[in-house]
Amino acid sequence: MTDDDGRPSPEDLLPLAMEDERRRAEGRLTIYLGYAAGVGKTYTMLADALALRRDGVDAVIGYVETHGRPETDALAARLEAVPPVTIEYQGLSLREMDLDAVLARNPAVVLVDELAHATAPGRRHAKRYQEIEELLRAGISVWTTVNVQHIESERDAVARITGVRVRETVPDTFLEHADDLRLIDLPPDQLVERLHAGKVYVQDMAARAVERFFMPANLIALRQLALRFVAGVADREMVGLMRSRAIPGPWPAAERVLVGVRTGPYADQMVRAGYRMASRLQAEWTVLSVETERDLEAPEADQARLRKALETARTLGGRVVRYRAADVAGEIVRYARRTNVTMILLGKPRGLGVLLSPVYRVMRETGGIALHLVDPLDTEPIPIARQLPRPSISEAALALLLIGAVTGVNLALRGTVSPSNQLIIQLVPVVIAALFLGRAASVFAAVVSILFFDLLFVQPYYAFAISDWEYFISFIGYVVVALVISILAGRLRHLLPQVRESEATVEAVAGLSRDLEGAATRQEVYERLADQLRRYTGGPAVVLVPEGGELSRAAGDPAYPLDEKEKAIAAWAYENRAPAGRGMDTLPAGRGRYLPLVASGRAMGVAGVIPRDEANGTAGEVLEGMVRLAALEIDRLA
C-alpha cells in the first residue's frame, strides 16, 4: 500500500487523483437505494430536497413518479418541476423527463426518479442512467432512486430469491461513481402493512403483490442484499482512504480471504478450501497465483491443473489475480496489505519446502492478518529429484560446452595471467548460463567450473586438492558470486516477459478506450473492438450481432473460420450470456473463444477470437474487460 518511506504509492494515488478531477468537473450524484418498492425512497428524496430549498439551493424536479400516493404528491407539489414530455408509442402515452428542458433550466440539483428506467423508443438515450450521465457532465448534481433488484450484479441473486428476472438494470460501474449512496430502510413487516393499507399499490393489487413478490421471506432476503451492497461500497471507500493516506492494514471492518495457489496437484483443493472459508465468513475472496521461474518450467500437467483451478475460482465467484515474480512471500504480503485482507490461506509446506517455504516469511510480515494452513487430502509423495533444481540435459550440455571453451582459453593463458584473473575468466560461463539457461544451469555451471579450475589451475595440478587455503576462501566467494548472479539474472529473465505482457495489456485496454471515444455508431464500435482484439491476441477476431434470428458477421477478419460448429458455440454464448469455446469449461472443443457483449442485462452480440498464445493466464480477464467496455459503449449508442 505504501512506498518504503511510508508515503502512498503512485499507483494508488493516480486513480484517486483522476476520480477527484472527474468529480470537480461534473455534478454530484446521490442515489437513494431501497430493497423494494414502497420503502420510502422517493418520499425521502423529496423531503431532503425541500430542506435543501430552505437552505437556498436551487433544487427542481426533473422527473418523479409518485404512483398516486397522497403524501408523496403533497411533497412534490411544493417543489418546482420541469414539465415532462409525452411520447405516443403504439397507442400508449408515455411520460419521460424533458432532458433538454432540464439542461436549459440548469438547476444546482435535479431530482430524477427510477434510475433503471428504459426510456421510450426514439429518445436520445435508451436508458435513464445515460440521461443522468449527460446531466452530470453538464455540471448539474442529480438525486435519483433505485431498488437493489435493478443493480446488474444482483440480478441473478434476485431471480433466485423471488423467481422474477428483472429486465431493467443499471451497470455497477455507474453506481461506483456515486458521491453519496443512501440506504432507505424499512422493516419488512411494516412494508407489508403499507401494502395492505394501499400505500404502495392500489388496494385491489396489494394481495397479489404480497403473494408473489412481497412475501416476508423474499423481503428479508432482498433487504439483506441491499445491506450487503451498501456495506461493500463503504468497504471500498475505506480501502481507498487507506491507500490515499498510506494507512497500514488490515482494518477488520469486513472479512477478506486471500488464497495463495501455485502449480501442482493441490491448486484445486486450495481453491475449494478458500471458497468454503469465504462462504462461512460471508466474505469476499481472491485467489492469488505468484508464478516463479520454477513454476513456468513445471510439467505441463501441473500448469494445466493450475489453469483449471483458476477457472474453478472464477466459476465459484472468486477474483483471480496472477503475478510473475521471484519473491512469492513478498508479493503475497504486499497484495494482502494493499487490499485489506483479513485472512490468508496457504498450503502446508511439505518435503524440502518445510525449510524454504515462503509461509514463514508471510507469517512474520503479516501482523494482524490470520494465517490458515491447508493440508491437502490424498497427498502425493514428491521425489527429492523434483524438489531440487536440475538443469535439463540440453542445458547441462550447453553449460559444459561453455565451461570447456573458457577452460581452453585459461589453459592458453596459464603462466601468462595470474590465477586470480583466471578465476574471474572462469566465471564467464556461469554468467552466460544465468542469463540464458536458467538458475539450475547456472548453479550446475558454477560447481563444474570450480572443479575444473581446481583440477587444472590450482596446485597440485590434476588433483582435487587445495594446498593454499586462500584459494579455498576464493572458491567460497566464487560460489556466492555465482549464486547471486544466477538469482539476479533469473529474476530479470523472469520479469521481462511480465513487463512486456503488462505493457501489451495496458495498451490493449487503453487503446480500445481511446478508439471508442470517437465512435459515433455501433458499426464503428464493432470494427474497433475486432481490431483491438486482433492486436492483443495476435490471431483472427470477429464480432457477431443478431440479425434475422441468427448471428451475423458485423466486423472482423473475413477469413475467420466461422463454420456451423463455431456458430453454434457463439450462439450458446449469446443466449446464455456466458463465455464459451477454446480455453473455457463450456464447449472447449471450438477453435475460437466467444465472449458475449452484455450490458444492462441483455446480450447485444458476441466477440470471437482465436488467441495465438494460449499460455497467457491473464488473457481471459483482459478479453472480458475489453468486450465489457465495448458492450457499454454499444448500449450507450443503442
Q: Is the pLDDT of residue 423 over 60?
A: yes
Of 339 and 250, the one with more pLDDT: 339
Of 626 and 97, the one with more pLDDT: 97
pLDDT for 75 equals: 92
Fold (CATH) for 518-637: Beta-Lactamase (3.30.450)
SS3 576: helix
**Kind and range of the H or E element at 566?**
helix 564-576
pLDDT for 1 equals: 43
Q: Where are the alpha helices (DSSP H) in 339-468?
A: 353-356, 359-365, 384-387, 393-413, 419-425, 428-436, 439-457
User: Per residue in 397-407, pLDDT tens?
Assistant: 888 888 888 88
Q: Are 233 and 181 in contact (CB under 8 A)?
A: yes
Helix axes 439-457, 469-517, angle to 10 degrees: 160
pLDDT for 480 equals: 76
User: Per residue in 256-281, pLDDT tens?
Assistant: 899 999 887 788 888 988 888 887 77
Which residues of the chain form CATH 3.40.50.620?
A: 256-380
Reported pTM: 0.50
Mean pLDDT in residue range 595-620: 74
Of 534 and 419, the one with more pLDDT: 534
Which backbone phi and psi does 464 adopt, to 5 degrees?
-85, 75
**Mean pLDDT of the residues in the chain:** 79
Q: Are 340 and 241 in contact (CB under 8 A)?
A: no
pLDDT for 510 equals: 64
| pLDDT band with cut points at 50, 70 and 90 for residue 29 | very high
Which residues of the chain form CATH 3.40.50.300?
A: 10-244
| pLDDT band with cut points at 50, 70 and 90 for residue 602 | confident
Percent of the chain whose predicted confidence (pLDDT) is above 70? 78
User: Per residue in 353-407, pLDDT tens?
Assistant: 556 678 888 888 888 788 988 887 655 555 545 555 567 788 788 888 888 888 8
Of 32 and 435, the one with more pLDDT: 32
Rounded to the nearest angstrom, the gap between the alpha carbon of residue 93 and the centroid of all alpha carbons in its chain is: 43
Which residues of the chain form CATH 3.30.450.40?
A: 518-637
Q: Is the pLDDT of residue 148 over 50?
A: yes
| pLDDT band with cut points at 50, 70 and 90 for residue 508 | low
Mean pLDDT in residue range 5-27: 57
Mean pLDDT in residue range 429-439: 76
Mean pLDDT in residue range 548-562: 87
Mean pLDDT in residue range 570-583: 84
The sign of the torsion formed by the CA atoms of 162, 167, 172, 175 equals: negative
* Superfamily of the domain at 256-380: HUPs (3.40.50.620)
pLDDT for 172 equals: 80
Report which of 258, 287, 250 is spatially closest to residue 372, judged by C-alpha positions: 258
pLDDT for 617 equals: 41
Of 635 and 79, the one with more pLDDT: 79
| pLDDT band with cut points at 50, 70 and 90 for residue 203 | very low
Q: Is the pLDDT of residue 176 over 60?
A: yes
Fold (CATH) for 10-244: Rossmann fold (3.40.50)
pLDDT for 544 equals: 92
pLDDT for 498 equals: 59
Q: Where are the alpha helices (DSSP H) in 417-468?
A: 419-425, 428-436, 439-457
SS3 360: helix
pLDDT for 111 equals: 96
Q: Is the pLDDT of residue 57 over 90?
A: yes
pLDDT for 196 equals: 76
pLDDT for 462 equals: 72
Residues composing the chain: 638
